[in-house]
Amino acid sequence: MIDNDAASIALIRARTALVLDKPFLGALTLRLPMIAADPDWCRTTATDARSFYYNPNYISGLTAPQVQFVLAHEALHCALTHFARRLQRSQLRWDIACDQAINPLLMRDGLHPPPGWLVIESFLGMTAEEIYPYIEDNPNDSPMDQHIYNGESSGAGSTPDPKLDSSGKSQPPPLSYSERDSLALQWRQRLAGAAQLARQAGKLSGEISRLVEDLLQPSLPWRVLLAHYLSATARDDYSFQRPSRREGNYILPSLRSGQLDLTIALDVSGSITPPELQEFLSEIDAIKGQIRARITLHACDERLAINGPWIFEPWENISLPTSLNGGGGTSFIPIFDWVAQCDRLPDLLVYFTDALGTFPRREPSYPVLWLVKGRSPIPWGTRVQL
């Protein structure tokens, strides 16, 4: 028997509790109208980034903390713009990755999931994009809720039937391209506002705060940032020095070029895969041809690679050495100790790593660029997120 009133009261109480105890999540849930859906299409709860849909029978069978969890869960799907970030990924794997990005976060914040909801605590602090490669194609795994913003789009500029959006009797259509882009902007603004409200109340957890900062900061592909940094470091400049008399009386700019000495350090501790290393080196190789860089390549886990370093002149292509050893612990100290013993310091050191290791206490005098896989912080230098 469907008990709409009991389910509605339970949801209102859950939302009120979130607003009072967890203002960040509470503010987000206030942005989602709560609509009782037909159990024929809504098994548990669902969202289309416009509303929160629920099966009254399912909600009535949950405890108060569990109702808070499912309400916050759907709100975070929207606030994290999961509906706009799938791209060409498998829908099922993406939906599972999105749930695994949310559920450990909510549990760390003190909420309690209903039975059957997917939770792997080791995914805490990871984005859906970072979790996705670890999700296998297993038809037996599926989210408990429904992400009904997916599926084939109804077309750019199309307008779905508004009755389907608000009655709950029929499953709403997926988002059109224009709706997706518009809602993504709205939810980013709502995310920023909710975070500010929670900070003022002193109730924004560290994990959520870092997540919000990562999502709101301007983002560029790491290749663009790497190319920009290397180009800025290259010693190519124009000179307006007065020419000799034989060259005439006009002072025209002339290009003075020097070779960039670049040191690249590879983390081979086990968390970085060979395809990822090769992709990184290929990108460096492409940039190197534009800025005339001499590359000194070395590898390290907790010890330097036995056969390193490897040196590549500007006209040589970089390749991943076949004799790389590794797989041990991670320490960045050996690389910097080795650089200190070289004849000259590099113009730039680029370290490709997950940043999970022991850093030198002191920052070196030369610039260091960390290309980081994962969310770990660095104590000094410039960090570029992969």
The answer to whether residues 180 and 227 belong to one domain is no
pLDDT at 249: 52
The answer to whether residues 143 and 18 belong to one domain is yes
Question: CATH number, domain at 308?
Answer: 3.40.50
* Domain count for the chain: 2
Structure tokens at 104: 């450990």
Beta carbons of 188 and 81 less than 8 angstroms apart: yes
The answer to whether residues 82 and 168 belong to one domain is yes
pLDDT at 240: 42
The answer to whether residues 187 and 324 belong to one domain is no
Residues in the chain: 386
C-alpha to C-alpha distance for 180 and 352, rounded to whole angstroms: 35
Residue 369: CB atoms within 10 A of its CB come to 20
C-alpha to C-alpha distance for 56 and 7, rounded to whole angstroms: 5
The answer to whether residues 191 and 283 belong to one domain is no
Look at residues 214, 241, 276 and tell me which one is the last residue of a structural domain: 214
The answer to whether residues 151 and 229 belong to one domain is no
Look at residues 214, 232, 257 and tell me which one is the last residue of a structural domain: 214
Largest distance between two CA atoms of the chain: 100
The answer to whether residues 354 and 226 belong to one domain is yes
pLDDT at 143: 86
The answer to whether residues 165 and 296 belong to one domain is no
pLDDT 10s digit of each residue in the chain, 386 long?
A: 566 789 999 999 999 999 999 999 999 999 999 999 999 999 999 999 999 999 999 999 999 999 999 999 999 999 999 999 888 888 889 999 999 999 999 999 889 999 988 888 888 888 888 889 888 876 567 888 999 887 533 222 333 343 444 566 888 888 888 888 899 889 988 988 888 888 888 887 777 777 777 666 655 566 676 777 777 766 544 444 444 444 455 444 444 446 788 899 988 877 677 777 777 778 777 777 667 788 899 988 888 988 889 998 888 888 777 766 666 678 999 999 999 999 889 988 999 888 888 999 999 999 898 888 877 888 988 888 77
**Cα 58–Cα 183–Cα 129 angle in degrees, nearest 5:** 75
Q: Which domain holds residue 83?
A: 4-214
The answer to whether residues 265 and 156 belong to one domain is no
Q: Which long-range contacts (CB under 8 A, 24 or more apart) does 34-39 make?
A: 34/8, 35/166, 35/167, 35/168, 36/4, 36/7, 36/8, 36/168, 37/168, 37/169, 37/171, 38/168, 38/169, 38/170, 39/2
Beta carbons of 46 and 149 less than 8 angstroms apart: no
Beta carbons of 148 and 172 less than 8 angstroms apart: yes
C-alpha to C-alpha distance for 267 and 327, rounded to whole angstroms: 9
CA distances from 43 to 54, 58, 96, 163 (A): 8, 8, 17, 20
Look at residues 214, 237, 253 and tell me which one is the last residue of a structural domain: 214
**Cα 79–Cα 202–Cα 122 angle in degrees, nearest 5:** 55
pLDDT at 289: 65
The answer to whether residues 76 and 160 belong to one domain is yes
The answer to whether residues 171 and 276 belong to one domain is no
The answer to whether residues 119 and 69 belong to one domain is yes
C-alpha to C-alpha distance for 151 and 128, rounded to whole angstroms: 18
